[in-house]
Structure 1
Amino acid sequence: MKSNYGSVYKMKDKPRRNPWRVVKTIKELNGKVKRQTIGYTRTKVEGLELLAKYNTNPYSLDTTKMTFREVLEKWQIQHFEKLEPKTIKQYKSIYLHFEPIKDIPMLELNTVHLQGLFNNLELSTASKRQLKAVLNQIYKYALKMEIVAKDYSNLIELGKKQVVIERKVFTNEEITKLWKYKELEFVDTILIMIYTGLRIGELLTIENKNIDLENRTIKGGIKTDAGKDRIIPINMEILPLIKNRMRADKTHLITGMRGKKMAYQRYHMIFTDLMEKLNMNHTIHDCRHTFASLLSNADANKISIAKIIGHSSYLTTEKIYTHKDVEELKKAVDLIKLQ
């Protein structure tokens, strides 16, 4: 093979699970040339395939810094080649649940991170089992590439062994306090979740183009068929908060310092910091739990509650809501008022 293409050779120093080493000649910024390992494979054919794929789509060789997101992207390049478009779409919907760990270096992930992720998922045991199976595949790839030395996904516990998280609603006094400090950066986002029932993953994906201020509606939502792209009415109380956040130069309602879509990990840090400053003890999901409780306490129509939250199997033809539907949903959220 040409030196600038790379090579594959078998290591004979000791027995290995993946004895074939794939190397590549890399030219650094300072002009120096050195050989770096791309990965290790079980057979020479696999090594040649890996080298070909690397030359087509080079990636960072510093595996110690590769995030879960980067490993996921590299794994799917190989995995998706064998799958049908419909199956690929299903995989991509599963990836949404990995959002909390995507920016963590793969090498730093451990049982605490992964078990915590699974404990906080609002999924059935069967769905969690499917998610774990995908994670197993990603770890097998990471082991093959020697990005990690251990498969922590096998240690994740499902079902009855999971810790049950106690949900606590925000009290009226706490909500009043949030309104008092609404000018404090990002407190408005907590109020928006409390008055809309949006999950944080959903709120962070809301684009301004899907917000209709005149008709007081948001089109958004993820996860289930009933929850995707649902119509979410905007309570009159938070209409000014949403309006103030909308900027012509930004695509998303909630953005970071550079005006880009905010990552879940970053928002989680902000939320935790705010809870400490305001002397409150809540998880992000307590906002959604509070919304459901407030609607229920206000005797809102149960069907309307289910539609807004996206928990039911309610589906309109081609996901289109009639004008009457939307009006009923707005009446329901407007019942939320502090005593």
Structure 2
Amino acid sequence: MAKRRKLPNGTGSIERVKLTPQGKTRLNQYRARLPAKKGRKDIGFFKTYNEAMEALINYQEAPPEVTFKALYEKYKNTNEFKKLSEKTQRRYDVAFDKYKDIHEENIHDIRFSQLQEVIDDMENDGYQVQNQDGSYKQKYYSKSSIERLKHLVSKIYKTAIKENLLTYNLATNLEVGGLKIQRKKQIFTNKEINSLFNSINTNYYARHILILIFTGMRTGEYLGLKKDNINLKDNTIIDFGEKTEAGRDRKMFIHPKIKPILAELMLNSQTGYIVEYKQPNGKIINPSINTFNKKMYYPALEKAGVEKKIPYTCRYTFATIAHNSGVTDKALQKLMGHTNFNITANSYIQDLDEYIYSELQKIQ
């Protein structure tokens, strides 16, 4: 019998345990346990002594869960932050609030797309200023205002790096457009849309992406959509908007291609909402934007074999298809929930080359 290798000091211990608590013979009898300084936690049972030893030697603690919010609070306690003017500090707080959907997310679980989408939203939607006559005027944030979001994220990730929680800074590749510097945005092609339709039988959440594409809804609007907002007989969706007055008083007509999907989702709804997510414990919930993106939207794209694109791509696609299919400016403005067609034209309708344009025209 070969001599067993000795465990390095501080690695832990290996014990042979032949029987289960119920008195049955174990298939894997060698229990590997961490040393006392690591809580003497069992890391598993193994078939051989050597397998247990390799597991102990190669064991790595899971990285601690530290939230986006916790890291920002840590940054606020640094001398660097305290030396900033009160005005600049308030601006960072405002930027931080823009990321409210990921405040409680573990920094290790946050995706680049979640960070970029907040910048895209701010860039595309701008803000409303009320005139003296009660009407609203659309304005856009300056590039410096949008860049502050990127600076904030960079500060948070640099704090995580200093704490030895991460080795990378996701802020490095964040793209910032801003006033009059609109970046090129993607849309879904006809081939990709058909791939989503074809995947429905084995890809349940693809239904939601298709509804977003054929309604142009914002993600937040869609997540708030209830069965009561939908009238299949009249082919309309009402009282679902957000953001602006035009958005809140908005009616959407149901495209024939998504009517059966909506009918199915309405029939299956257990919460009254169209979008539902089944948690690991079996509970059915109306998900947050973060849960929708991370657990439903991106996995559905991957399952359909479609290139990864941000949720706002659905809205860009809707506006582009509608515009190039002959929908009037005024009608499209109302469908998008914008107060001015310039917002739709400048921020959402994408330039198409001849090939993509011809492909999109095949959607009937």
Q: Provide the TM-score with structure 2 as the length reference.
A: 0.49
The equivalent of 1:121 in structure 2 is 121
Please give the alpha-carbon distance, in whole angstroms, between the structure 2 residues aligned to 1:157 and 1:285: 15
**Contact 1:220–1:230 (CA<8 Å) still a contact in 2?**
yes
The equivalent of 1:228 in structure 2 is 248
1:217 aligned counterpart, secondary structure: strand
Larger radius of gyration: 2
Shift in Å, 1:69: 7.2
Q: What does 1:6-17 correspond to in 2, within 5 Å? A: none
The equivalent of 1:28 in structure 2 is none
Shift in Å, 1:115: 5.7
Unaligned runs of 5+ in 2: 1-63, 73-93, 124-139, 342-360
Shift in Å, 1:263: 2.3
CA 1:195–1:108: 2 relative to 1, 3 Å: closer
**Which of 246, 250, 259 pairs up with 1:239?**
259
The equivalent of 1:104 in structure 2 is 105
Q: What does 1:1-339 correspond to in 2, within 5 Å? A: 67=67, 98-99=100-101, 101-105=102-106, 116-123=116-123, 124-126=140-142, 129=145, 164=183, 166-171=185-190, 173-184=191-202, 185-215=204-234, 216-246=236-266, 247=268, 249-257=270-278, 258-269=283-294, 270-283=296-309, 284-313=311-340, 338=363
Please give the alpha-carbon distance, in whole angstroms, between the structure 1 residues aligned to 2:114 and 2:144: 12
CA 1:229–1:251: 2 relative to 1, 3 Å: farther
Q: Provide the TM-score with structure 1 as the length reference.
A: 0.52
The equivalent of 2:357 in structure 1 is none
Please give the alpha-carbon distance, in whole angstroms, between the structure 2 residues aligned to 1:209 and 1:131: 40
Encode CA deviations 1:211-262: one digit per residue, 9 max, x unaligned.
Answer: 2223222321223332235222211221121111124631311011022111
Structure 1 counterpart of 2:183, one-letter code = V
Shift in Å, 1:71: 10
**Contact 1:125–1:159 (CA<8 Å) still a contact in 2?**
no
**Contact 2:225–2:240 (CA<8 Å) still a contact in 1?**
yes
**Contact 1:167–1:289 (CA<8 Å) still a contact in 2?**
yes
Encode CA deviations 1:124-176: one digit per residue, 9 max, x unaligned.
Answer: 3249838959x97xx99xx9xxx9x9xx9x999965599935323322x3222
**Contact 1:211–1:219 (CA<8 Å) still a contact in 2?**
no
Please give the alpha-carbon distance, in whole angstroms, between the structure 2 residues aligned to 1:114 and 1:175: 23
Give the number of equivalent residue pairs. Answer: 234
Structure 2 counterpart of 1:252, one-letter code = Y
Structure 2 counterpart of 1:233, one-letter code = F
Structure 1 counterpart of 2:219, one-letter code = I
Unaligned runs of 5+ in 1: 1-63, 73-90, 315-335
Deviation beyond 6 Å, 4+ runs, structure 1: 69-72, 106-110, 154-157
Kindly report the root-mean-square deviation, in angstroms, between the aligned alpha carbons of the 2 structures: 4.8
1:121 aligned counterpart, secondary structure: helix
Encode CA deviations 1:270-290: one digit per residue, 9 max, x unaligned.
Answer: 322232232221412221111
CA 1:302–1:209: 2 relative to 1, 3 Å: same
Please give the alpha-carbon distance, in whole angstroms, between the structure 1 residues aligned to 2:143 and 2:333: 21
**Contact 1:197–1:309 (CA<8 Å) still a contact in 2?**
yes
Please give the alpha-carbon distance, in whole angstroms, between the structure 2 residues aligned to 1:295 and 1:276: 26
**Contact 1:199–1:288 (CA<8 Å) still a contact in 2?**
yes
Encode CA deviations 1:31-51: one digit per residue, 9 max, x unaligned.
Answer: xxxxxxxxxxxxxxxxxxxxx
Structure 2 counterpart of 1:268, one-letter code = N
Please give the alpha-carbon distance, in whole angstroms, between the structure 2 residues aligned to 1:292 and 1:121: 16
CA 1:254–1:65: 2 relative to 1, 3 Å: same
Please give the alpha-carbon distance, in whole angstroms, between the structure 2 residues aligned to 1:244 and 1:189: 12
1:223 aligned counterpart, secondary structure: coil
Please give the alpha-carbon distance, in whole angstroms, between the structure 1 residues aligned to 2:182 and 2:324: 28
